[in-house]
Amino acid sequence: MKYSEDSNNLSGRLEKACVGITYLSETDAEVEPFFGGKVEVLNTRTFLETISESEKKPVEETDAGQFFERVSKINDWHTASQKKNAEKFAALRKLLESNLSGLRVFRVGRIRIDIYIVGIDQDGNLAGVKTRAVET
C-alpha cells in the first residue's frame, strides 16, 4: 500500500474531494466522508460491527474497481455536469486508493441502500466515503 505524505490529514482531503459529488440512482445522493473505528481485518462482519449495524440487513460486498469504473466513466452523451461528476469520482478513487488498503464497497439494505467505499488507513482505522441509493 502506498500512502501519501499528508495521510495524517486524510479527513480534510476527503471532505474536499467529496464536495459536489453526487451518486446517481433513482434518487441523487451526496457523497460524504466516513470514518469508523479500528479494525484488524476488513470483511463484512468487522464492517457491520464498526458501523453498529445488524447482520439481519442484507449486505453485499462488491469490488471497488468495478464501482469506480461505472461512476467515473465519461460517455459522449453526458452533460457538462455529468462529466464533472465523473471526473470528481475518478479523483476520489485515486485519493482512496493511495491512502487506504483493502478498499471495498459494502451495500447495506434493500431498496434504500447505504453504500460505503472503505478501506483501512495507516493507523488501522476504517475510513472512506458513504452515500445512498434507491433501487426499486
Q: Say which CATH number the domain at 112 has.
A: 3.40.1460.10
Tally of domains in the chain: 1
Residue 73 lies in a domain: yes
| 130's grid cell | 458513504
- Please, where are the H alpha helices in the chain? 10-18, 44-50, 64-72, 80-99
Residue 1 lies in a domain: no
Residue 67 and residue 136: Cα distance in Å, rounded? 19
Residue 2 lies in a domain: no
Q: What is the pLDDT of residues 41-53, one digit of tens each?
A: 999 989 998 888 7
Phi and psi dihedrals of 123, rounded to 5?
A: -95, 5
| 125's grid cell | 482505522
Of 10, 18, 12, 34, the closest CA to residue 116 belongs to 34
Residue 51 lies in a domain: yes
Q: Which domain holds residue 115?
A: 7-134
Q: What is the pLDDT of residues 30-80, one digit of tens each?
A: 999 999 999 999 999 899 988 887 667 899 999 899 999 999 999 999 999
Residue 101 lies in a domain: yes
